[in-house]
Every structure is written in structure tokens, then in C-alpha cells.
Amino acid sequence: MIDTLEHRLKIQARSLGFELAGIAAAAQADGFDQFQDWLARDFAGDMSYLRRLAPARRHPAAILPDVRSVVMLGLNYYGAAPSAGEARIARYACGEDYHVVLRRKLNELLAWVQAEVPGARGRGVVDTAPLLERDFARRAGLGWFGKNTMLIHKRLGSFFFLAALLLDLDLHPDAPFEARHCGTCTACLDACPTQAFVGPYQLDARRCISYLTIELRGPVAEELRAGVGPWLFGCDICQDVCPWNRKAPWGREPALQPHADLEALDPAELVGITDAEFRRRFRGTALWRTKRQGLARNAALVLGNTAGIEALPALEAAAGDADPVVQEAARWAMARIRERAGTGG
């Protein structure tokens, strides 16, 4: 093996815990026009930041003006499905906030590059930056787009985070991943309880459980609430049913391993959580994204979908919450529970 900078960089990335590493040339994102069309169809819902920063996603130079190469990295987070009684949270949210974990590793990798090439400039980015990272990941040879819009790797499946290191260095790019290996399978499309996929490779985020439980700040549309089911935060359904995840290896990153306090979440308790308690328990985790209002609203929906009459006292208290979104979700949940129990009123 020739001892190139590219080869050594990939070895260093793997030593930092990244299972996947590939290089793409910095050029216009392949899917920028499709992204613009997706926005035009209003599939982004209330995620106004996607529209506001849309032009920046055309080219990575919007992030690093002199960028020449994009190093795409993948970090596996797959593990046992977390459960909190009848409630569920997405696997990726069970440990430390992945943004913190990825940025830490990206900073270490950039420092290594700058030691190898003094004067090199770069920037590490995760999904908060305006980069169409899936496009560059495919271009860097890391996998293909599944029908559920996730990037899929033959060995790792789809339960991995993407991160990018933008560099002003001319690195030799890897061959892009040209094939698709989903065939005629539609398991992910068929399994979505809110019918968020309008077709293969097309996600209407406004109906996605992850969007509804994380990004949406107001009330969840009533016709979608039953479909949320037990999901307190995020959703793994379309990945759980994917055949490529059946033999996926479990992640090894210690910071992403499930925290005990995130495996013991009680929706009957969370529906009444205070701002102070929310800050104490969830700062530094992915659940921070929902804010107190979102988590309490989600807890009410989960109780409405799964709980018995034992949850009514907690919901009755939440119906007096200062936040009208939480109030309304609690009243809806009480009505659902009473309907199931046949108690009426």
C-alpha cells in the first residue's frame, strides 16, 4: 500500500472511532436541484432554517471558501432498542449528544491533518451545517440512498452518523457508489405508520414521526397522533425493518452507549416535567432539542396511545399546564384513554 496522505488520513479516522472514511472532490452537491424541489413541495414543514440556508447547500465553499476536498466519515451507533416501559426513543438519542461526540473527533482529525500538512485549513461539520452530506457520502463511496432516504452501507446498514471534514487540500477522491441495492423491497415504505413516504426516495417530513416529535414546535395534527404510537423522541421504524440492518454490527463508541437515565423514562412523569427538571436531566443529550414543551407534549401523546386509566391523574395535572400545546395534548390523551376503557366523559 502506497503511504499517501489519503491512506494515512483514513487510518487516523478509524483510530478515532470512525468506521467509514472516504474522500470526495468539493463540487456542487449532486442532489441540490432535488433538494430545491423538495423544499418547493413544502415537505420541510416548519423547518424554516432549511429554506433560509438553502443556497448555501449548493456548494461546500459556502462553509469553507477555499475547500478542495470533502472527507466523509461514518460513526456507527447501532445498539439494542431502548425502551422506557411503553415509550420508545430513537437509538441515536440514548447516549451523549452526537453533535458533541462528532465535533470532538473531527477536531482531533483536523489537528492531525494540520500536523501532517502545516498551514492546511479545514472545518469539521455535522448536520447543523448547510451541507448535503448524503450526496458527498455517496460520492465518497460510503453507500447508496435507500428508499427511506437514508444512506445505506452494505456492512453497517444505516444506523450510523455522517460527519464531514472540509479541507483546502487537493486529495485524491474515492470512486463514488453508483449502484443501489434495495431492489424491489419496499419494507421501509410499507412500515411507516404515518405514511410519510410519498414514494420511493421521497419523504414528506411533515408526516415523519421524527419530525413530529423533535422539530415540530406546535401541536401534532390530530390525524397523525395515533401513528406516533409509543415514540417519545424520534423513530427507528423504517430502519428496523430494513433487511440491510439485520446483520449490522453494534457500535463501539462509549459516549454513544445508552445512559441508564435515558433507558428509564416514564411518560407519566415527563408529561408534568418542569423547566428546571428538563434542563437538569436532558442538557447534553439529543432530547434537549425538543425543549420542555415538546417532550411534555410527546409524553401526553404516548400515554394517549398506550396507557390505561392509571395515567389519568398525571394527564389531568398536565391539562392545567401553562403551555396550551401541552394542555391540549393532555386533554386528547385523556379522551383516548377513557374511550379505550369505555368510561366516557
Along the 345 residues of the chain, how does pLDDT read in single tens digits? 578 999 999 999 999 999 999 999 999 999 999 999 999 999 999 999 999 999 999 999 999 999 999 999 999 999 877 665 668 999 999 999 999 999 999 999 999 999 999 999 999 999 999 999 999 999 999 999 999 999 999 999 999 999 999 999 999 999 999 999 999 999 999 999 999 999 999 999 999 999 999 999 999 999 999 999 999 999 999 999 999 999 999 999 999 988 887 877 899 999 999 999 999 999 999 999 999 999 999 999 999 999 999 999 999 999 999 999 999 999 999 999 999 998 765
pLDDT of residue 261: 78
| Helix H or strand E encompassing 334 | helix 324-341
Cβ-based neighbour number of residue 259 at 10 Å: 16
Instruction: List phi, psi (to 5°) of 71.
Output: -90, 115
Amino acid at 136: F
Amino acid at 115: A
127 is catalytic: yes
Place of cell 444512506: 151
Could you tell me which of 236, 167, 224 has the C-alpha nearest to residue 195? 224
Task: Give the contacts of 296 (CB within 8 A, at least 6 positions apart).
Answer: 270, 271, 272, 273, 318, 321, 323, 326, 329
Could you tell me which of 92, 78, 99 has the C-alpha nearest to residue 156? 78
Q: Read off the C-alpha cell for 108.
A: 482531533
pLDDT of residue 1: 53
How much of the chain is in helix, strand and coil states, percent to nearest 5? Answer: 45, 15, 40
Angle of CA points 198, 203, 204, to nearest 5°:
80
Task: Give the contacts of 272 (CB within 8 A, at least 6 positions apart).
Answer: 296, 314, 317, 318, 321
Q: Which of 33, 37, 127, 168 is catalytic?
A: 127
The beta strand positions in 150-293, using DSSP E, are 151-152, 160-167, 197-199, 202-203, 231-233
* Rounded Cα gap, residues 328 and 300, in angstroms: 9
Span between the terminal Cα atoms of the chain, in Å? 74
Place of cell 395534548: 329
Angle of CA points 90, 94, 98, to nearest 5°:
95
pLDDT of residue 59: 98
Contact 77, 159 (CB under 8 A): yes
pLDDT of residue 304: 98
Task: Give the contacts of 219 (CB within 8 A, at least 6 positions apart).
Answer: 297, 325, 328, 329
Q: Read off the C-alpha cell for 228.
A: 406516533
